[in-house]
Amino acid sequence: MKSKKRWSVNRIAAYSGAIAAALVVAQLAGFTPLAERIDNYAYDLLFKYYPVSHAAQSVVVAIDDETLRTMGGMRGLRSILARGLESIAAARPKAVGVDLILADEQDAVEDARLQSAMKSTPNLVLSCELDPKGWEDPLPGFRSAAAALGHIHADQPHDGVSRLVPLEKVAQGQRRWALSLEVFRLARGGKPVLESPDDIEVDGHRIPAPRQGSERPLRIRFLRGGIPAISVAELLRNPQLAGRLNNRAVFIGVTALSAARDRYFNPYQEAVQGVEIHAQSYETLAGTEFLAPASNSAVLLVCAIFAAAAGLTFALMSGWGAYLIAALLLALAHATPAIAFNHGVVFPYTAAISSAWLAVVTSAAFQYFSTRRELRKSESDKARYQQAIHFVTHEMRTPLTAIQGSSELMGRYNLTDDKRKQMAQMINSESKRLARMIQTFLDVERLSDGQMEMKRELFDSREVIESCVDRVRPLGERKQIRIFLDSTTADRLQGDRELMEYAVYNLLTNAVKYSPSETEVHVHSVRDGDQLRVTVRDQGIGMNEKELRNIFKKFYRTKKAEASGEAGTGIGLSIVEQIVLHHGGRMEVASVPGQGSTFTIVLPANVTAPAK
């Protein structure tokens, strides 16, 4: 039962169209909020599987709950910061980032102390923040004491998990680098940041951070276990601890739970404060293991490869083999984000799996349904073949019997020359009829299969009708049915004369077959405006509405026709209709059960032209 699958152009187009549609749907699905959540979830999971843990190069100096409690609370923040900076400066760190907004004037004495602490701190970076009015910068006195300003914005994740930091922010024509980047730049010697659309460079250290809009999001590779932290209170209590800050990047900020305004989680689900996020971002900048998002074109390409592979699998294979390959493909699609992550590329999880799944399901379903359709078609082909055999045996029996009988008579008896001639003629005409029948049957089959072009000769409609009426008269006489040719017009038709003759003859034989004896059959042919109408009207058994709807179907016969004892196959009218349709015309039938039927062939004017 291994039949070689044939792929028509239409089928290839439909199949690829379906898979392309699946790919488009999958890509669109990747933009939904649900997909974003799933992608983030997958990202966090991969974070846990591929943690980064090298020794931290930065330290957090925390203004924690104990510090606030013992040193005057939030109101004493500036003096806490001043004292903190004094100890930090003494330890000679590489650079210091202050995660506090110092934009408003407070106690003059304290501010002066803070300013002088700042002045003695090397490579100091102060924070600035965007508010609706623009950049909120530190007081000019503080600003002048600092080496640089850095913004302290992080992304604002819906789920509270911090993943990105925008390395740059622009407002009112002023661009600020992130606090962590400024600290890093100063720690590496203070040369300006070099930038290209895809990355930035600090003292020869390349950081992939493609610009997206007015930002350059950097994925923070959080160090597992966090950044070492010392509280200001501890530092003051135990000045030796300051040694840990030597030659390090230091970030100082509030971590007290009671005062922290931003508190997030990292992808490991560990709680992190704002100041630690800056320190982690610094570690990412200083490290070499960057995570860059896969470009849109790369995502599309990989998804398209999955879709194409799924399509090819089901096109070239079938059964378990195909399902096995499809399962491997799906497994690969699920693994792709992990493989990419391991190579520092963030590949959207939903895009990968939804393209692979949708493409696999679409191709499998397409193949399943088209195989089913083929099976049904081959079953109906078989049925048609059987019916065709039926047709041959029934329709051809009459001429064959005549030929057989005559030839036997000729062989067995000494016949007169006249009689012999008559019989030879009859054999000749019957065998011609047989050949014509076979030809017509084959022609119509091929026409409706689209394998054959119809002939386009010019012929006279009257000749066709008259010859059919003449041929059918003897049949009518046997049942005492009189056939009237009421009117004919001499119209020229263009098309296949033999097929048209078959059609008219068939209507006539049906009229005779399905009418009781001593009735009449009337034939008209009239020009009605643009149309030529050839009508065959009988006074026969007729048909009801339901039967009328079916008679042009192949192999359909009414119960009454079956009961009439007339031989038939139910194929003639379907051939008639095919012929008429191929001539650009249509069939009309009217019938009343028990009273008679009227069949009309309507041919359009464009194939008719007055005969000369």
As measured in angstroms, the least distance from the Cβ of 567 to ligand ADP is 7
- Angle, helices 179-187 vs 274-286, to 10°: value is 50
Which residue lies nearer to ligand ADP by CB, 558 or 600? Answer: 558
As measured in angstroms, the least distance from the Cβ of 578 to ligand ADP is 11
Which residue lies nearer to ligand ADP by CB, 180 or 506? Answer: 506
Burial class (CB within 10 angstroms; exposed 0-12, middle 13-18, buried 19+) of 333: buried
Using alpha carbons only, how large is the chain's radius of gyration in Å?
Answer: 47
Q: Distance between CA atoms of 183 and 125, rounded to whole angstroms?
A: 6
Contact 67, 235 (CB under 8 A): no
Positions touching ligand ADP (CB under 6 A) are 506, 510-511, 514, 538, 540-543, 551, 556-558, 561, 568-574, 597
Which residue lies nearer to ligand ADP by CB, 323 or 556? Answer: 556
B/e letters for 203-215, b = 16+ CB within 10 Å, e = fewer, are: eeeebebebeeeb
DSSP state of 212: B
Q: Distance between CA atoms of 67 and 259, rounded to whole angstroms?
A: 12
Q: Distance between CA atoms of 291 and 295, rounded to whole angstroms?
A: 12
Side-chain-side CA neighbours of residue 593 (13 Å): 10
The residue to which tokens 């590496």 are assigned:
188
Looking at the DSSP bridge assignments, the partners of residue 533 are 526, 602
Longest alpha-carbon distance in the chain: 150
Which residue lies nearer to ligand ADP by CB, 122 or 594? Answer: 594
Q: Which residue is nearest to ligand ADP (CB)?
A: 568
Which residue lies nearer to ligand ADP by CB, 255 or 510? Answer: 510
Which residue lies nearer to ligand ADP by CB, 497 or 557? Answer: 557
Which residue lies nearer to ligand ADP by CB, 597 or 608? Answer: 597
Contacts (Cβ under 8 Å, ≥6 apart) of 92: 122, 246, 247
Q: Distance between CA atoms of 458 and 488, rounded to whole angstroms?
A: 17
Looking at the DSSP bridge assignments, the partners of residue 487 are 524
Two tokens, residue 338: 């992990």
Q: Distance between CA atoms of 190 and 182, rounded to whole angstroms?
A: 8
Q: Distance between CA atoms of 227 and 59, rounded to whole angstroms?
A: 6
Helix (H) or strand (E) holding 587: strand 586-592
Q: Distance between CA atoms of 277 and 256, rounded to whole angstroms?
A: 15
As measured in angstroms, the least distance from the Cβ of 569 to ligand ADP is 5
Which residue lies nearer to ligand ADP by CB, 568 or 585? Answer: 568
215-218 contacts at long range (C-beta below 8 A, 24 or more positions apart): 215/166, 215/167, 215/168, 215/169, 216/166, 216/167, 216/168, 217/155, 217/164, 217/165, 217/166, 217/167, 218/164, 218/165, 218/166, 218/167, 218/178, 218/281, 218/284, 218/285, 218/290
As measured in angstroms, the least distance from the Cβ of 309 to ligand ADP is 50
Which residue lies nearer to ligand ADP by CB, 179 or 444? Answer: 444
Which residue lies nearer to ligand ADP by CB, 373 or 479? Answer: 479
Which residue lies nearer to ligand ADP by CB, 43 or 514? Answer: 514
Q: Distance between CA atoms of 96 and 124, rounded to whole angstroms?
A: 5
Helix (H) or strand (E) holding 474: helix 461-478
Sheet holding 491-495, edge to edge: 457-460, 491-495, 608-610
Two tokens, residue 118: 């700042």
Looking at the DSSP bridge assignments, the partners of residue 602 are 533, 586
Which residue lies nearer to ligand ADP by CB, 202 or 579? Answer: 579
Which residue lies nearer to ligand ADP by CB, 115 or 509? Answer: 509
